Amino acid sequence: MTASQTDNGADLHPRGAGGAVVERTAADEVAVHAESSVRAWWSQSRALTGRQLRVFVRDVPTLVQSLLMPALSMLMFKVVLGDAIGKATGQDSAYGTVPLVILVGAMFGSIASATRLNRERSTGLLARLYVLPINRGADLTSRLASDLVRVFFTTLLLLAAGTLIGFRFTQGFGPAVGLVLVALAYGAAFGIMTLSLAVNAAPGAPIVPFLGLFSSLLMFFNSGFSPLSAYPEWLQPIVANQPMTPAIDLMRALAVGGPITENLVKVSIWTVALLALSIYPALRGYRKAATAR
């Protein structure tokens, strides 16, 4: 029997006896896993994650937008707004600008991934993947995993660029790792939300304008862009509790010191809430998108 082959070259065989999946390993040994098993989900998610990363790297415009544009934006924020924010807060603006741009990079990269997913739905790729004998959650998992890989490396790049405008870690190695984990948690929550929207929207829907507007509102109304006290009093509670502000404040505290507990609780609540509200619609929407005629 001829094996089916995914875009990344991994061999995925049709179902064997009892609905099992026959997968050829690197050593050319045959491993049999039930399609719904954790082992099948894990191995197939890894294979499809490799595919997603290759698609991302080969998409030069998206790669430039995801990596270079945030770094250039960070430098512009520093040049244009740095002194004003520093005078208002008494703290180097880099400690707000760098976390802000890291989160903005995570958001706009996720929007690009969601747009690609919506486009792949219209080409019939989701339908072809769905009829293969692979775990039903593997493709969505691979898309989220590749987004987290992107967020991780983008965060490291922006932290390195941040040293050029005065960003420093003063709290040690542990808090520095914590800062990266905050970026990953934010990226995971925003990523699964955009994937959920992408599979539930009609093919060719204007995802970018809507999500871009939403992300822009978050980007310009947070404590990294301007001190909380600079906003009108009626707007301050909204700005203080929107998803980006506690994440920025937590990342700032992990880098240079400050209160952590309250912002950590807010970040945790936002992350869990977005994941809980998005996972089921994402899975249900993916099934409908893949089986629609």
In a domain, 62, yes or no: yes
- At 2, the pLDDT band (50, 70, 90 cuts) reads very low
Task: Say what the pLDDT of residue 68 is.
Answer: 76
Task: Say what the pLDDT of residue 11 is.
Answer: 46
Residues in Cβ contact with 263 at an 8 Å cutoff, skipping those fewer than 6 apart? 246, 247, 249, 250, 253
Task: Say what the pLDDT of residue 227 is.
Answer: 82
- At 32, the pLDDT band (50, 70, 90 cuts) reads low
Task: Say what the pLDDT of residue 261 is.
Answer: 94
Q: Which of 128-142, 151-165, 202-216, 228-242 has the lowest mean pLDDT?
A: 202-216
CB atoms within 10 A of CB 229: 10
Are the beta carbons of 104 and 215 closer than 8 angstroms? yes
CA end-to-end span of the chain: 28
Query: Which tokens go with 209?
Result: 């304008």
Task: Say what the pLDDT of residue 62 is.
Answer: 76
What is the amino acid identity at position 103?
L
Q: Which of 29-38, 76-85, 138-147, 175-184 has the lowest mean pLDDT?
A: 29-38
DSSP string, 228-260: GGGS-TTTHHHHHHSTHHHHHHHHHHHHH----
- At 272, the pLDDT band (50, 70, 90 cuts) reads very high
The interaxial angle of helices 94-123 and 173-200, nearest 10 deg, is 30
In a domain, 13, yes or no: no
Please state whether beta strands 11-15 and 30-34 pair in parallel, antiparallel, or not at all (unpaired): unpaired
In a domain, 279, yes or no: yes
Nearest to 193 by CA among 118, 66, 284, 279: 279
Residue 204 has pLDDT above 80, yes or no: no
SS3 call for 118: helix
Task: Say what the pLDDT of residue 117 is.
Answer: 87
In a domain, 200, yes or no: yes
Residue 242 has pLDDT above 90, yes or no: yes
- Provide, rounded to the nearest whole percent, the portion of the chain with pLDDT above 90: 37
| C-alpha to C-alpha distance for 132 and 15, rounded to whole angstroms | 9
Are the beta carbons of 282 and 137 closer than 8 angstroms? no
Task: Say what the pLDDT of residue 176 is.
Answer: 95
pLDDT in tens, 49-85: 998 899 888 888 777 777 777 877 777 777 776 666 6
In a domain, 117, yes or no: yes
Residue 185 has pLDDT above 90, yes or no: yes
SS3 call for 26: coil
Residue 27 has pLDDT above 70, yes or no: no
What is the amino acid identity at position 37?
S
SS3 call for 16: coil
Q: Which of 90-99, 101-110, 183-192, 234-243 has the lowest mean pLDDT?
A: 90-99
The pTM for the full model equals 0.82
- Identify the domain containing residue 212 by its residue range: 44-291
In a domain, 11, yes or no: no
Q: Locate the DSSP E strands across the chain.
A: 4-5, 11-15, 20-24, 30-34
| C-alpha to C-alpha distance for 175 and 238, rounded to whole angstroms | 27
Q: Which of 204-213, 217-226, 258-267 has the lowest mean pLDDT?
A: 204-213
Residue 31 has pLDDT above 70, yes or no: no
pLDDT in tens, 118-133: 888 888 888 888 888 8
Which has more pLDDT, 180 or 70?
180
In a domain, 80, yes or no: yes
Are the beta carbons of 239 and 146 closer than 8 angstroms? no
Cα–Cα–Cα angle for 277, 242, 69, nearest 5°?
Answer: 95
Counting the structural domains of the chain, the total is 1
In a domain, 30, yes or no: no
Please state whether beta strands 4-5 and 11-15 pair in parallel, antiparallel, or not at all (unpaired): antiparallel
Q: Quote the mean pLDDT of the chain.
A: 82
Task: Say what the pLDDT of residue 9 is.
Answer: 43
- At 113, the pLDDT band (50, 70, 90 cuts) reads confident
Which has more pLDDT, 253 or 35?
253
